[in-house]
Chains A and B, each alone.
Chain A
Amino acid sequence: MRPLGWLLLLLFPVLLMARVEVYQFDDPAKEARYKRLIEELRCLVCQNQNLADSNAELAEDMRRITYEMIVRGETDEQVITFMVERYGEFVLYRPPFQRSTLMLWFGPFIILGITVLILLLFIRRRAAERAESLTAADHERARKLLDDQQT
């Protein structure tokens, strides 16, 4: 009896998994499109999750709409337009390339450029300092010190 109890307990999480709805498609191509779309659309409640990962109720509604639109034979663009018209471009996980997102696209490269520039300046100055500071007399002194230590 006890092993059975344990088994039931182990199966308990499966009950929770069953909450995510399963949609039936008559056409595997449509299913693939559905999967791709819910990967690319953002859930607005849990903002760092896409529709595929989120189990917020809003995400559920948005998945349902996506499913219905695809089954009805609408294109990916139509689904995306539908979502953008209602929730704004924020709903797209992959931000479009336009004026308001220029900083988003170029910002990291600008920061990288500035960092490399500062690094180069720094290395240059270091190199200049070193070349200057070691004169023949310094070399002589260094050799003396090293010789002293060896004896």
Chain B
Amino acid sequence: MKARFLIPLGVFLGLVVLLGVGLTLDPRDVPSVLIDKKASEFSLPDLFDSGKRVDSATMKGQVWLVNVWGTWCPECWREHDFLLYLAKQEKVPIIGIDWRDEDAEAINFLREKGNPFLAVGIDPESKAVMDLGVYGAPETFLIDKQGVIRKKHKGAMTPQVWREEFKPLIEKLEKS
């Protein structure tokens, strides 16, 4: 019975472990239900030319990325250089969806910093964005040749995420 006074210490340590694990989890990282589901088609007005449309159907047969972004979102600024690298060096086809943004500002942003996107659609009614289950920007989706969403990354795309999660998967999908 001597060890009785150790019980509160044990409870305390248990709590420390529990809360410690809790700190490493991100409650905002809600798993997407759309993985391995067919991405719903979108056809959006082109940011640069409102007469043209950006159509997901034109990407059929390719492994490509959708990147939802906006000039208002700091993380989008942070990932921009890496997206440029992906587009220019790794030749990854990326379609951008400019979300809740001022068109003029978005155009300026891309002119000044470079444009990693094959095409950029605008989504004033958030329709395409909601169909993708997006709830923050940036979000990046990997879509395969059949138009199925294979992966989703929330937050800025980083070299590490790219290397560990996207690249191996893309190589596999390209072969299939």
Contact = CB atoms under 8 A, between A and B. Distances in A.
A21 to B, nearest CB: 14
A86 B34 contact: yes
Given A44-B135, A47-B28, A87-B133, A61 B33 contact: no
A65 interface: yes
A86 B133 contact: yes
Most buried by A among B27, B30, B34: B30
A86 B126 CA distance: 13
Given A88-B133, A90-B30, 6 more contacts: A45-B136, A58-B136, A61-B126, A86-B132, A86-B133, A87-B133
5 contacts: A47-B27, A58-B135, A86-B131, A86-B133, A88-B32
A26 interface: no
Interface of B: 27-28, 30-34, 100, 125-126, 130-133, 135-136
A85 interface: yes
Contacts, number: 35
B135 A87 contact: yes
Contacts of B133: 86-88
A110 interface: no
B36 to A, nearest CB: 13
Interface in A26-44: 44
Looking at chain B's contact residues, the main secondary structure is loop
Contact of A86 (B27, B31, B33): B33
B33 A88 contact: yes
Interface in A1-57: 44-45, 47, 57
A121 interface: no
Given A86-B130, A88-B133, A57 B33 contact: no
Interface of A is mostly: helix
A86 B132 CA distance: 6
A80 B85 CA distance: 40
Q: Tell which of B31, B33, B132 has the most Cβ of chain A within 10 Å.
A: B33
Contacts of A84: 33
B126 A88 contact: no
B30 A88 contact: yes
A65 B130 CA distance: 10
B130 A85 contact: no
A71 to B, nearest CB: 15
A87 B28 CA distance: 12
B86 to A, nearest CB: 26
B136 A87 contact: no
A101 to B, nearest CB: 14
Contacts of A57: 100
Nearest to A86: B133
Contact of B33 (A45, A62, A85): A85
Contacts of B28: 47
B100 A87 contact: no
Nearest 10 interchain pairs by C-beta: A44-B135, A86-B133, A88-B33, A61-B126, A90-B30, A87-B133, A58-B135, A45-B135, A86-B130, A88-B30
